[in-house]
Structure 1
Amino acid sequence: MALHPNGVHHLAISTTDIKQQIEFFTDVLGGTLKALYWMHGVDGTFHGFVELSPSCYVAFVQHPGNTDRNELGVTHAGNAGGPLPGGTMQHVALNVDSLDELLALRDRIRDRGVVALGPIDHGMCQSLYFAGPEGLCLEIATGGNI
């Protein structure tokens, strides 16, 4: 049987500041903290989940050995079009149902002092781009004519 997912349950993102990540994803983006606990079987490591919708979560893992050394083009793209080595995450794009919802989120993000670019019309979708804590490149998109 082949894999046929109905979505991505969660993305797990490494962090050196789980508090900052949770505050950004709850205050700026409006998510809800659903779980925060010691990661099972990994000494000194926190694991937290923020619910973005009933079937979409972002998770953060703060390990005591995590480094805060971000290198553009090596560990982080720096923007949604920046180069990175193969196998690394370029950016995270989250989907919303409508342009009105995208615009409302743009206003919410900007009202909290975060620079947001867009919406940009790509033809197949419209996107909003902004940076999260620790150099995380984020996108919110609507439309799915891929």
Structure 2
Amino acid sequence: MKIGKIHHVAYRCRNAKQTVEWYQKYLGMDFVLAIAENEVPSTKAPDPYMHIFMDAGQGNVLAFFELPNSPEMGKDPNTPDWVQHIAFEIDSLDDLLATKARLEADGIDVVGPTDHTIFKSIYFFDPSGHRLELAVNTGTPDMARRLDDVKWQMLEEWDRTKQAPQHAAWMHDGSHS
């Protein structure tokens, strides 16, 4: 078996209607489907939910569940906020900067643009507290080849030492030019 693509990725949200409107307004995602049940189909648990699906482009679907009878949603207290996030690819640096300006104009805190050498990105949170990233690719084919050439060595070294391997230090030390 080989995976064809991700069918959808699902997260919890605080309010389904607010989530649909927010993703439409700030990320231009179309609302494509709503499913609501009073019983969970897979477990048969009596737990009403609203399951919404948003078009994230090119067949990618981002979905959310609103669960009104569950305790208030929280975060993993042992994982830093910057780790768990959803990253969306966009076409241009102009789009990145325009989106940043629109978010900030509405009082949404934005970090970045952050230069990752092979892409630039901004970070912010949706109304349910999910960290989002918008990224625009800036790397070259040579950069991609250089990273591909060392990925396995980096992984093996990390697995042995749990220290950051330096095979791709050029990405952040200014020597990538």
Runs of at least 4 residues off by over 4 Å:
none
Specify the alignment match of 1:106 in structure 2: 100
Q: Partners in 2 of 1:129 and 1:112 — Cα distance?
A: 15
Which structure exhibits the higher relative contact order, with contacts defined as CA atoms closer than 8 Å and separated by 6 or more residues?
1
Task: Answer yes or no: is 1:73 the counterpart of 2:77.
Answer: yes
Q: Which runs of 5+ in 1 are unaligned?
A: 82-89
Equivalent residue number for residue 3 of structure 1:
3
Structure 2: stretches of 5+ with no match in the other structure: 41-46, 145-177
Report if aligned partners of 1:128, 1:141 keep a CA contact under 8 Å in 2: yes
Across the two proteins, how many residue pairs are aligned to each other?
Answer: 134
Q: Which amino acid aligns with 2:57?
A: S
Q: Radius of gyration: which is bigger?
A: 2
Determine the C-alpha separation between the residues in 1 that align with 2:94 and 2:7.
Answer: 25
Higher helix share: 2
**Where is the strand percentage greater, Structure 1 or Structure 2?**
1
Work out whether 1:19 is the aligned partner of 2:4.
no
Report the secondary structure of 1:135's partner residue: coil
The answer to whether the 8 Å contact 1:37/1:48 transfers is yes
Q: Deviations over 1:24-69 (max 9, x none)?
A: 2112222221112314952521111122324222111123443224
Contact 1:16 1:67 in 2 (8 A): no
TM-score between the two structures when normalised by the length of structure 2? 0.64
